């Protein structure tokens, strides 16, 4: 079936749809030996599509990989790092295909990351209009008041705009009275959003861990460990973003 080139490339997990468009404009994509242009369509199963001279493999593109990973502290949410710091790629091995993190976690933020070669799913999970829930366990300094929690629930004004309403509840903890443990669910992804929100109410974050994305939970994964998503977890992800699976998932438990 013919589809727009940028969609085919993003589905492959090579890059986002926007980056795929840039690659086409730069003349890096060819179809059956001809330089591609924006708006061109192709059939991956019939046409020879090359990126930087390398032929796209239909079998690889149609086989989807979905992984969840428990990112440790002091790990960069990228596949390479010019500063030589530990990256997600240092922990993900033996897959046989290139997968990419869906979104980011800060260097000092731990917890759940989803990695995939399904560019379309990644795009929809990150799209602000989808309002995908992401849940965190947050340790903040001091005994935060209910009034301050209500401010955060309603939304606070940061330098890049007002935050969307959030869900927050207190967690029981054996920590000292000088800190407060909370569970917080947000539906957007502003840069360092949770840390900036608590700084706004003068209760800086001491520890931050993501425990759930869109119904997929971290579970019992230890820091640095990863597993393939189950069929039920994959169905949950696709249902929440309003998509249908495209291609066959590999290594599904």
Whether 203 and 138 share a structural domain: yes
Whether the Cβ atoms of residue 98 and residue 117 lie closer than 8 Å to each other: yes
Specify whether the backbone of 79 is left (phi greater than 0), alpha (psi in -120 to 50) or beta.
alpha
Q: To the nearest 10°, the Cα dihedral for 21, 25, 28, 32?
A: 90
- pLDDT of 88 > 60? The answer is yes
Q: What is the pLDDT of residue 32?
A: 94
Tell me the percentage of the chain whose pLDDT exceeds 90. 56
- CATH code of residue 175: 3.30.70.1560
Domain count for the chain:
3
pLDDT digits (tens, 9 = 90+) for 104-140: 899 999 999 999 888 777 777 777 777 889 999 999 9
What's the CA gap between 55 and 7, in Å, rounded? 16
More confident residue, 97 or 107: 107
pLDDT of residue 173: 63
In this predicted structure, the answer to whether residue 141 has a pLDDT above a threshold of 90 is yes
Same domain, 70 and 123: yes
Which residues are catalytic, by number? Answer: 106
CA 39 to CA 127: how far, in whole Å? 22
Would you call 200 helix, strand, or coil by DSSP? Answer: helix
> Among positive and negative, which fits the CA dihedral 20, 22, 28, 34?
positive
193 shares a domain with 160? yes
Assess whether 16 and 49 both reside in one domain.
yes
Q: Residues 193, 231: one domain?
A: no
11 and 124 share one domain: no
Q: 186 phi and psi, to 5 degrees?
A: -120, 160
Bridge partner list, 137: 183, 209
Q: What is the CATH number of the domain that holds 38?
A: 3.10.290.10
**Are 124 and 219 in the same domain?**
yes
Mean pLDDT of 70-82: 92
| Rounded-to-integer distance, Cα 98 and Cα 44, Å | 19
* Mean pLDDT (the chain, rounded): 87
Q: Examine the fold and report which residue of 56, 74, 99 is the final residue of a domain before the chain moves on.
A: 56
Identify whether residues 112 and 220 lie together within a single domain: yes
Q: Per-residue pLDDT averaged across 60-77, rounded?
A: 87
- Both 209 and 142 in one domain: the answer is yes
137 and 197 housed in the same domain: yes
Instruction: State in Å, rounded, how far the first CA of the chain is from the last one.
Output: 30
Token representation of residue 47: 């046409």
Domain termination residue (choose one: 25, 41, 56): 56
Task: Specify the CATH number for the domain of residue 67.
Answer: 3.30.70.580
Nearest Cα to 156, choosing from 119, 130, 203, 193?
193
Q: Are residues 209 and 224 in the same domain?
A: no
Residues spanned by the domain of 173 = 133-213
Residues 90 and 209 in one domain: no
């Amino acid at each position: 079936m013919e589809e727009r080139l940028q969609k085919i490339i993003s589905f492959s997990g090579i890059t986002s749809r926007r980056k795929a468009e840039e690659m086409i404009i730069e003349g890096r994509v060819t179809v059956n030996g001809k330089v591609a242009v924006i708006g061109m369509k192709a059939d991956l199963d019939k046409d020879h599509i090359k990126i930087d001279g390398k032929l796209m493999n239909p079998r690889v593109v149609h086989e989807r990989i979905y992984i969840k990973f428990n990112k440790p502290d002091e790990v960069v949410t990228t596949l390479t790092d010019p500063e030589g710091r530990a990256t997600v790629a240092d922990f993900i091995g033996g897959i046989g295909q290139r997968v990419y993190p869906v979104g980011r976690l800060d260097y000092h933020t731990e917890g759940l990351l989803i990695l995939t070669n399904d560019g379309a799913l990644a795009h929809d999970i990150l799209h602000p209009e989808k309002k995908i829930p992401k849940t965190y366990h947050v340790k903040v300094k001091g005994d935060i008041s209910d009034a301050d929690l209500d401010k955060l629930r309603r939304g606070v004004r940061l330098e890049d705009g007002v935050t969307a309403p959030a869900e927050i509840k207190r967690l029981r903890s054996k920590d000292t009275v000088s800190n407060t443990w909370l569970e917080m669910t947000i539906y957007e992804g502003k840069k360092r959003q949770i840390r900036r929100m608590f700084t706004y109410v003068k209760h800086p974050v001491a520890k931050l861990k993501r425990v759930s994305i869109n119904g997929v939970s971290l579970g019992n994964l230890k820091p640095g460990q990863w597993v393939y998503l189950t069929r039920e977890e994959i169905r949950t992800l696709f249902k929440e973003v309003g998509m249908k699976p495209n291609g066959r998932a590999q290594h599904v438990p």
